[in-house]
Structure 1
Amino acid sequence: MGKAINRDGRFQNLQEQELTFEQVFERILRFMYRHPGGNYRLMVGTDSQVHCDRTVFITGIVIQNQRKGAWACIRKHIVPRKMLHLHERISLETSLTEEIVYMFTEERKNRMIDIVLPHIYKGATFTMEGHLDIGSGTRNKTREFVKEMVSRIESMGVEPKIKPEAFVASSYANRFTK
């Protein structure tokens, strides 16, 4: 099993490259401070794509102020072999999502909550979601892994989302795996 290539754990988006997690977190806070009374969803999800000599994993982080925009970034993780076993790939996707969720420590989550807290009575909200690129439909090959992966995300105190609601994994991150 080859060593994974992680690019030093850096994040990027269309405007910026080589962001540390601390810089990502500061961008999220800055986005939230613009409209502290917003309805915020912090979503983390991972997708993968098998290529001829490697498997590319992309983890997306999206902070969305519902109906008022979003800020997002990705982190690339490359395994230098074809990962053909679906359970192994889905499990690593979930692990990479968990790794990012863990970076949002209680202190960091409290800093985000503190932004919206004074506005809760006016309708402000904050939720955190883990998006899994799996589905429970009868034609979906990943349906047998739903319970296991959802349980892993739930155990972290994060709301799990599967297809079709898991758009950070199945749509946003997916675009960058090609």
Structure 2
Amino acid sequence: MKRQERLHYKFQNLQEKNMSFEQVFKRILKFMSLNPRGNYRLMVGTDSQVHARCTVFITGIVIQNTGKGAWACIRKIMVPRKMLHLHERISLETTLTEEIVSMFTDSKKNKMIDIVLPYVYQGATFSIEGHIDIGSGQRNKTREYVQEMVTRLETMGVEPKIKPDAFVASSYANKYTKKVGG
């Protein structure tokens, strides 16, 4: 994806619409700066839902200060066809997550780390996770794709999480996939 195309990404949450990635990043820094001694998890995950005439993909970005709240937003993509093949959908979900994770450049990651760094010896932490809406359970249809998708995120230096720990994809993003409009 070209850099200028990324600049046109639009994110939203219940308070704000049409945020650029730079605006999202500023909100994350502001949230972390409110309590630099926090235990922060930056989590990105995507879920999808097949509708009658399209497939909706929602990527969630969540910055959580464990036990003390979170700030979150979503990005919505609509593919104008029914994507019925599970591997294709899961692969695109992972690609969309990777795309957003890659926007957190080393420079951006360092700005987030710099907020907590002075307080590391007082317990402050920061981690980045990629949430994949797949599970390894025997009854889970997605189990055969777990290793492939986990490896993709690991190669980006992101800690992969699958069900039941992938709540940004399986819960937060999931609730926004149900509607086609908006």
Q: 1:78 matched to which residue of 2?
A: 78
Distance 1:77 1:162 in 2: 22
Distance 1:167 1:50 in 2: 20
**Aligned ranges 1:111-126 → 2 under 5 Å:** 111-126=111-126
TM-score (norm 2): 0.94
**Aligned ranges 1:54-69 → 2 under 5 Å:** 54-69=54-69
Q: 2:15 matched to which residue of 1?
A: 15
**1:46-83: CA deviation from partner (whole Å, max 9, x where unpaired):** 00000000000000000000000000000000000000
Q: 1:52 matched to which residue of 2?
A: 52
Q: Is the aligned partner of 1:174 residue 2:164?
A: no
**1:64-123: CA deviation from partner (whole Å, max 9, x where unpaired):** 000000000000000000000000000000000000000000000000000000000000
Distance 1:84 1:147 in 2: 21
Q: What SS does structure 2 have at the residue aligned with 1:9?
A: coil
In the alignment, structure 1 segments of 5+ residues that lack a partner are 1-5
Deviation (angstroms), 1:126: 0.0
TM-score (norm 1): 0.96
Q: 1:3 matched to which residue of 2?
A: none
Deviation (angstroms), 1:162: 0.1
Distance 1:49 1:13 in 2: 19
Distance 1:159 1:134 in 2: 15
Distance 1:137 1:174 in 2: 19
Q: Is the aligned partner of 1:156 residue 2:156?
A: yes
Deviation (angstroms), 1:9: 1.8
Distance 1:76 1:33 in 2: 27
Distance 1:89 1:174 in 2: 14
**1:152-176: CA deviation from partner (whole Å, max 9, x where unpaired):** 0000000000000000000000000
Q: Which amino acid aligns with 1:13?
A: N
Q: Is the aligned partner of 1:88 residue 2:88?
A: yes
Q: What SS does structure 2 have at the residue aligned with 1:126?
A: strand
Q: Percent identity?
A: 76
Q: 1:24 matched to which residue of 2?
A: 24
**1:123-162: CA deviation from partner (whole Å, max 9, x where unpaired):** 0000000000000000000000000000000000000000
Q: What SS does structure 1 have at the residue aligned with 2:56?
A: strand
Would you identify which runs of 4 or more consecutive aligned residues in structure 1 move more than 6 Å? none
Distance 2:100 2:22 in 1: 12
How many pairs align? 172
Q: Which amino acid aligns with 1:137?
A: G
